[in-house]
Each structure stands twice: as C-alpha cells, then as structure tokens.
Amino acid sequence: MSSKYSVSLEKVVTDNSFEVLFTPKDIGEVYISSTEVNRPGLIFTGFTDYFDADRIQFLGLAEIEYLSTLGQEKKDKSLERLFKKKPSAVIITRSLDCGDKILDFASEYKVPLLRTSETTSSSMASLIAYLSVELADRITRHGVLVEVSGEGVLILGGSGVGKSETALELIKRGHRLIADDAVEIRRVSAKTLVGSAPDNIRHFIELRGVGVINARQIFGMGAVKLTEKIDMVVQLEPWEDNKVYDRLGIDNEYANILGIEVPMVVVPVKPGRNLSIIVEAAAMNNRQKKMGYNAALELLKNLGISDDIVSEKKELETIDSF
C-alpha cells in the first residue's frame, strides 16, 4: 500500500543493516513509499499483472534456486522481466551470492540491489514492521506523552494547565517521558497509535518560571523512552464548579485520533489536587479494565444496584444505535 509519506533508502539501509551491492545514485536520493514488500515468484514465471513497482522485492533461497534450474536464456528473461519493472529496490537474503547476471540487470535498469544475512521471512517481517512505522499516517498534538506503569498516557490540555509539571512529577515517581510539548502520533496499524518526540526537542521539558530542562541529563537514561504505544488519553481542564464530573467511571469516554478510539478520562484541575498521582491511578485503572476488571461495576454490585445500571446502559446504547 502506497503512503503519502516516504523514507530514504539510505535510512532503510542504515536502520536495518543492509549491505549495498549496487545503487544507481546516492541512496539518500532514493525514496521508499510503500509499506508492503513482495517475493517476485509470479513475475519470474511470466505473470506480470498487478505487479507493484513501489514495493521492495525479496530474492530468497527459493527464488535463487528456481532461477538456477532454468536455462540461461529463460533465466535472463525472468530476471529482465523483474528489473524492467524498475522496483524501488531488490534485497537478497541469507547472504546468497547474487551472481553477475542479477548485478548486470540491476545496473542496466538502475535498480538498487541490497543484501542481508537474515532469512527471507524474518527479514520481510522486520522490514514491514519498520516501514509501517516510518510511513504511517501521523499528526502532531500539543501535549505530553509518558509511560506510566507500562501504559502510554497522552496528557492533553490548554496551555499552562500543568501538563509538563505533571510529567516531571511522574518522572520523579519512576515513570518515563517520551515527549513534552509536541507529540508526534503515528497510526502504525488499524488498532495501534505510537507516539514519539520530534528529534530536535526530544527529552526536553519546559517549566514555566524555571525554563527548559533535559530530563535525560537530570534523571538519567531510565527516565526517558523514544517511543510508546498510546493506551489512553488524560484531558486536563480547569475546574468548573457548575460542571458535573464523572464520579464512578461506568461510562467510557473516547478520544478519536487518526480514526482510532482511545480511552479518555477528563481530570479537572484545581489547587490542592495531586495530578501525578491521579494520572498514575488512571493509568493503572485503565490497565485493569483491559484485563477485565472494573472497580465501579464491582462497587455497584456490592451495593446491589449493578444489574439496574447495566440494563439501563444497554437500553440507552440500543436507543442511540437507531
């Protein structure tokens, strides 16, 4: 699947430790735009329909052995059929000898030729996972991303509401910072969002009255992390006396980010509230819910009113569906 984003082949080679056998130009000027890869067995047999030249092609043991069973003329035609399509790159796995013919066709049709020592399946799986992140749909949100007890918590809220201060206190309590101020969010699958910090502000936190600090330098490597899956959203907002806030947590709220529904809690902020402990408790409570335990429902069950609440909730959901 082609993406509106692209990644340079140079970065792909560096991050995946590929060996460069041939490149028609500086690999920093070659870009990959598809998250999918392919093994060109069908095109070797002559079926060229639906071939996607944007995909990186893999030549493994099966492909190389198949080519060796062909006569020289058929082998040349099979290789020419592939390279003539000008795929974005061809990768040879298991450190196999590519032979002069493959190198000649790569040079003739100006197709980058790479090699890896990994097996074909593991190399393809690794590259698909890598490209899914690098080419994922993304947005940047103003907020803070922290890892709290293994949960990725995205803290949102207006300027000056206390996001960075909360993150700092969480770091002191043994949790880890991923991003402050700007969080780059990528949709890496139909169900998963991953957040990170832009390279130029990674590990920095802005504290009003103090200035900018480097969390990694002050608290050490254990206090920071490069990326984290977003498991929940905590929305901080100034306390409003006339607003009714959820006190039980029976109804689940969600934030829609890049088309994915993420569990969300709204936390009102006022003097005297310890936000870091509240966020910590919200993260652990969210984890318990994912494991099938809901404290609010258990409390209602102990009070003997859970059945009525659940029935009423199901009735309202049925009405809303029409």
For a pLDDT cut of 70, what percent of the chain falls above it?
94
Query: Taking 60 as the threshold, does the pLDDT of residue 262 lie above it?
Result: yes
* Residues 71 and 192 both lie in one domain: no
* Residues 89 and 213 both lie in one domain: no
pLDDT of residue 273: 85
Residue-range definition of the domain harbouring residue 320: 294-322
pLDDT of residue 308: 58
Burial (0-12, 13-18, 19+ Cβ within 10 Å), 193:
buried
DSSP states along 15-69: HHTPEEEE-SS-GGG-EEEES-EE-THHHHHT--TT--TTSEEEE-HHHHHHHHT
Which DSSP symbol is given to 224? B
Q: Domain with 159 in it: what CATH number?
A: 3.40.50.300
* Residues 65 and 173 both lie in one domain: no
Most confident of 3-7, 168-172, 246-250: 168-172
| Domain boundary, last residue among 134, 153, 168 | 134
Query: Taking 90 as the threshold, does the pLDDT of residue 2 lie above it?
Result: no
Encoding tokens for residue 274? 């310890």
Residue in 169, 125, 152, 164 with CA at minimum distance from that of residue 36: 125
Q: What is the mean pLDDT of the chain?
A: 89
pLDDT of residue 89: 95
Encoding tokens for residue 252? 């689940």
Q: How many domains does the chain have?
A: 3
Are the CB atoms for 144 and 153 separated by under 8 Å? no
* Residues 298 and 262 both lie in one domain: no
Q: Which of 181, 186, 187, 231 is catalytic?
A: 181
pLDDT per position as a tens digit, 290-319: 888 888 888 888 887 765 555 555 454 444
CB atoms within 10 A of CB 62: 11
| Euclidean distance between CA atoms 37 and 91, whole angstroms | 10
For a pLDDT cut of 90, what percent of the chain falls above it?
71
Q: Is residue 142 among the annotated active site residues?
A: yes
* Residues 25 and 152 both lie in one domain: no
Please give the average per-residue pLDDT across 191-220, as a whole number.
92
* Residues 64 and 191 both lie in one domain: no
* Residues 170 and 223 both lie in one domain: yes
* Residues 160 and 264 both lie in one domain: yes
Residue 174 CA to chain centroid, in angstroms?
A: 24
| Domain boundary, last residue among 134, 168, 198 | 134
* Residues 271 and 309 both lie in one domain: no
Please give the average per-residue pLDDT across 240-258, as a whole number.
82
| Partners of residue 212 on adjacent β-strands | 206
Q: How many CA atoms lie less than 13 Å away from 231 in the CB half-sphere?
A: 19
| Domain boundary, last residue among 109, 134, 159 | 134
Q: Which of 39, 163, 187, 203 is catalytic?
A: 163
* Residues 102 and 113 both lie in one domain: yes
* Residues 287 and 146 both lie in one domain: yes
* Residues 319 and 238 both lie in one domain: no
Are the CB atoms for 142 and 182 separated by under 8 Å? yes
pLDDT of residue 311: 55
Q: Is residue 289 among the annotated active site residues?
A: no
Please give the average per-residue pLDDT across 277-298, as a whole number.
89
Residue in 235, 218, 221, 223 with CA at minimum distance from that of residue 143: 235
Query: Taking 70 as the threshold, does the pLDDT of residue 93 lie above it?
Result: yes
Q: Domain with 54 in it: what CATH number?
A: 3.40.1390.20
Please give the average per-residue pLDDT across 60-84, as a whole number.
93
Residue 271 CA to chain centroid, in angstroms?
A: 36
Tell me the pTM.
Answer: 0.77
| Reported confidence tier of residue 264, pLDDT bands at 50, 70, 90 | very high
Please give the average per-residue pLDDT across 140-164, as a whole number.
93
Q: Is residue 181 among the annotated active site residues?
A: yes
Please give the average per-residue pLDDT across 170-188, as a whole number.
94
Query: Taking 60 as the threshold, does the pLDDT of residue 267 lie above it?
Result: yes
